[in-house]
Every structure is written in C-alpha cells, then in structure tokens.
Amino acid sequence: MRGSDLVKDAEALVADPATSGRCLRSMGLLREGQEETMRANRCRLPKSVISAFAGLFCLALPACSLFGPDDPRAGLSCLDDSKECVDRRRVTLDSYLADNDHKWIKEPATAQAHVSGVRLFAFRSRKKELSCEELARGRREADSVAKSLHGPEGKEISPALIARATLFASEVSKELTAEMRARRCKV
C-alpha cells in the first residue's frame, strides 16, 4: 500500500471530524484546516484536570514508601521512630539475619538505608559469620556513610539523623576492622 492510498483511506474514514466523534491528530497524515484541528482539541482533557491529577499524584508520592508494607526491605526507607517504622526495620533486620547466603550485602545501599541503620546493624550482628570479602564490603559501606549523607542524597534528611547515622557507621567500621584483623584478613 502506498502513502497516497493511506491518505485516501484516512480521508474516507474521517470525512467530517465534527460529526464523527473522533479526535484527529493535528499533525497527522490528513491535510486539515485550522477549524478542524480546533474541534479536535475539544476531545482532549482540559489542562486544569491534568494539572489536578498531577498535583494529587505528587502529593501522594511522598506518602508512599518505595517498598510495600509486606516487603522485607520496607524498613530501609522508614526513618522515623514511630512504632510502625520500628516494626518495619525489625522485619527487614530479621530477613537479613535469616538470609544465610547474605544476598543483601551485594544490594546497593541508599542514603535512607544508611540512616535507618538496618544494614549496618546486620553487618555488626553477623560479623563472626561473614567472610573476609563480606567484612571488607561492610567496612567500605560503613566508611562511605558520612560522605554519602553529606552529599546530594542527604539533602532531605535532618542533620540529627545524619549525625546519628554517621556516628553509628564509624562504630560499625571500627568493629568490622577489628574482626578483620582478628581473622588476619587484608585490611
């Protein structure tokens, strides 16, 4: 089928856009006058409706966690000390401690994960069971907490939470370094 045949078929399908009820593309195959494209614009949603939906979406987005409430990683993004957040962090920590393969160690850590302290506490709790490579990875993560929280990722986090996370990270780093030395791992 050639291009001219497509244009003829399209013109046959949409003879009069005002009566057909279809919305035409303003820059489509059909040659159309200005009044026909203006009628076609009536089929679009008004800008006020679109902006209202966009506003509601933006308001609802921060209220939602990155993970669902049943996800074992939900505690990584929950930063306050409410009962719900403490319970979520406990579920996440329990799932990390139950993971015998230590898959969570290879997952990237976010600034919220550093502030929640779950990953660092898991490294601290399992340090006797971790390999030298896993201990080194944990120490590198603990050492990078201060830098990551003082960078662009930490802009939304309060200074008190940043200070608490940085202090805890330095303690965990010291403990992991001591464990590495005791096992004669490369430090």
Q: Are residues 108 and 31 in the same domain?
A: no
The 8-class DSSP code of residue 129 comes to T
166-176: buried (b, 16+ CB within 10 Å) or exposed (e) per residue? bebbeebbebb
**Helices 118-125 + 132-149 axis angle, to 10:** 150
Per-residue confidence of the chain (187 residues) as pLDDT tens digits?
A: 555 554 455 555 445 445 444 555 555 555 555 555 555 555 555 565 455 444 444 333 333 344 454 556 666 778 888 899 888 989 999 999 999 999 999 999 999 999 999 999 999 999 999 999 999 999 999 999 999 999 888 888 999 999 999 999 999 999 999 999 999 988 7
Q: Are residues 79 and 126 in the same domain?
A: yes
What pLDDT score was predicted for residue 5?
57
User: What is the pTM (predicted TM-score) of this model?
Assistant: 0.59
Alpha helices in the chain (DSSP H): 3-13, 17-20, 34-41, 47-63, 83-98, 111-116, 118-125, 132-149, 159-182
CA distance 172 to 54: 43
Which pLDDT belongs to residue 118? 92
pLDDT of 35 reads: 55
pLDDT of residue 59: 38
Residue 83 and residue 20 in one domain: no
* Domain that residue 7 falls in: 3-41
Q: Which long-range contacts (CB under 8 A, 24 or more apart) does 157-162 make?
A: 157/79, 157/111, 157/112, 157/115, 161/79, 161/115, 162/115
| Residue 187: predicted pLDDT | 72
Same domain, 79 and 168: yes
Q: Are residues 35 and 79 in the same domain?
A: no
Distance between CA atoms of 81 and 101, rounded to whole angstroms? 30
Q: Is residue 14 part of a domain?
A: yes
Q: Report CA 104 to chain centroid distance, whole Å.
A: 17
- 13 and 103 in a single domain? The answer is no
Smallest Cα–Cα separation from 43: which of 7, 6, 86, 14? 14
pLDDT at position 55, please?
Answer: 46
Asked if residue 53 belongs to a domain, the reply is no
Task: Look at the chain and report how many structural domains it folds into.
Answer: 2
